[in-house]
Structure 1
Amino acid sequence: MPNHQQLDNITHKNLRVLTHHHPNFGDTTSYSRLFTSEFRHAQGDYPILFRKNSETGQFEAIALFGFAVEENLFLDDHGWHANYIPLAIQRRPFLIGFEPGSQESQGEPKAVVHIDMDSPRISESEGEAVFLEQGGQSHYLQQVSSVLNAIHQGDTETRAFIDTLLHYELIESVSIKVKLQDGSNNELSSLYSINEEKLTSLAADAVYSLYQRGYMQHIYMVMASMAAMSHLIELKNKQISSTDV
């Protein structure tokens, strides 16, 4: 079980975090959540798809890293090899927690920084310092806070985008079948993408509404990202070749 603690400069004054990426740090995941603000940056590296969260049943956007469970084809012992790393990966081992709202905030829950103290990234001797000697926030923690804020805002924006896609019935189930150079077949199921046929048949007022909200750009980024599937296949074939040697 994760050990999530609210971050403070007394309990965690000597805390350091290992920020590089490595299989031993839990980075061997086949996908991560992705937010609409990231689509433009991520689409050149990763196929962008949708999946249903097994706990909430709600759709979420994801960046795909591999074809098997716990397979990240962009990761090796020397790091993560891609032009962009999703916010959901960048924020580790930090996360957003909430505490009860005050009278001044009219009872609205307050977002606060938490940290998973069981993460293999945690250290007291190596890595980036979280707090300065005097107790102030380090530059690293300020960067983390910026990432968490982007995630918090991105969650709301992405939910609105996906709700709109569902309203216009633009999300469809897809089955992705990939044949590799060793003759094996890989099939990815329980994934969803944009229904291009329904998109092209939308009424003019619906298209205009999507443009006004900036959603057409997001849609085009999702569609364009499928070109990255060929790079994913190339990475998998290279992995097979190196294993066979």
Structure 2
Amino acid sequence: MALELVPLTKQQHAKTKLLPNPGFKHVKDEHIAPVLVQEFSRASSEFPIVFVKRNEEELQPVVILGLKPGENLYTDGQRWTGLYIPASVTHHPFALVPSSQNEDELMVAILQGSDLLSEEEGQPLFDDKGEATELLERRKDAMLQQFEMANVTRAFTKTIQELDLFEAQSLNLELNGEKVTINGLHMVNEKKLMDLPAKKVEDLNKRGLLGPIYAHLSSLHQIHRVATKRAELKPAEAPQTEAAEA
């Protein structure tokens, strides 16, 4: 069945159940995952945090999970081998989308056709009375919290863009003699940050933005952790890494 994101309703999904231990098949081929600014502190101890284009004008922070597209070194589809799981990974197969009746309102959608869903086994999303189960309510609450944090993350990223602190870079790798380049990465230029006027630095500090910026900068060293992980999983393709301006 083709995957399709559809509104979750008690009429259409009265018998729908979520399978236990769903695993991570939905991200096993994803080499990056979106991350929220509120996650920077924990995520930075394990993953490199970089910024990529969300659209022509916006950037968004992501963690690097693999050293080339289609590669996730933190899951085989079943287990997650890292100590931290980004929030964006945990909500599948649900999503929050604008209501078709009112774009200012949000509604829960579900990825119809996902192999995490069943009508025969698993935890129901609705009870016999058509009310949302505790499982579904917990998922909705978590997604609402993530939505609110995503707005804070966009504001944080926009502030850095307005201060012109980002620098486009590429990650150059050599895998088993093959040179691979990951383009489209953006990172805070530490020199530009240090050259900011004192009042602007003080403003960033008062708004609680300096901590996440430095968490991002310190996280860049974790690229060596990712490279080591790849060397352990695929010894024949142990990479040499080098960051360069794009």
AA partner of residue 76 (structure 2):
D
**Residue 190 of structure 1: how far off its partner (Å):** 0.9
Runs ≥4 residues deviating over 6 A: none
Query: Normalising by structure 2, what TM-score?
Result: 0.86
AA partner of residue 219 (structure 2):
S
2:232 pairs with 1:230: no
Q: Which residue of 2 aligns with 1:212?
A: 206
* Alpha-carbon distance between aligned partners in 2 of 1:175 and 1:145, rounded to the nearest angstrom: 37
**Residue 56 of structure 1: how far off its partner (Å):** 4.8
* Alpha-carbon distance between aligned partners in 2 of 1:204 and 1:41, rounded to the nearest angstrom: 28
Q: How many residues matched?
A: 236
**1:45-84 alignment to 2 at 5 Å?**
45-53=46-54, 55-84=55-84
**Residue 121 of structure 1: how far off its partner (Å):** 1.7
**1:1-245 alignment to 2 at 5 Å?**
2-18=3-19, 19-23=21-25, 25-53=26-54, 55-99=55-99, 109-180=104-175, 182-241=176-235
**Residue 164 of structure 1: how far off its partner (Å):** 0.7
Unaligned runs of 5+ in 1: 102-106
**Residue 161 of structure 1: how far off its partner (Å):** 0.7
Partner SS for 2:234? helix
* Alpha-carbon distance between aligned partners in 1 of 2:115 and 2:97, rounded to the nearest angstrom: 20
Partner SS for 1:209? helix
* Alpha-carbon distance between aligned partners in 1 of 2:27 and 2:194, rounded to the nearest angstrom: 41
AA partner of residue 41 (structure 2):
R
Query: Normalising by structure 1, what TM-score?
Result: 0.87
CA contact (8 A) 2:58 2:158 kept: no
Q: Which residue of 1 aligns with 2:244?
A: none
* Alpha-carbon distance between aligned partners in 1 of 2:218 and 2:168, rounded to the nearest angstrom: 17
Unaligned runs of 5+ in 2: 239-246
**Residue 51 of structure 1: how far off its partner (Å):** 0.5
**Residue 187 of structure 1: how far off its partner (Å):** 2.4
* Alpha-carbon distance between aligned partners in 2 of 1:214 and 1:117, rounded to the nearest angstrom: 40
CA contact (8 A) 2:27 2:77 kept: no
Percent identity over paired residues: 24
**Residue 111 of structure 1: how far off its partner (Å):** 0.5
**Residue 132 of structure 1: how far off its partner (Å):** 2.7
CA contact (8 A) 1:21 1:27 kept: no
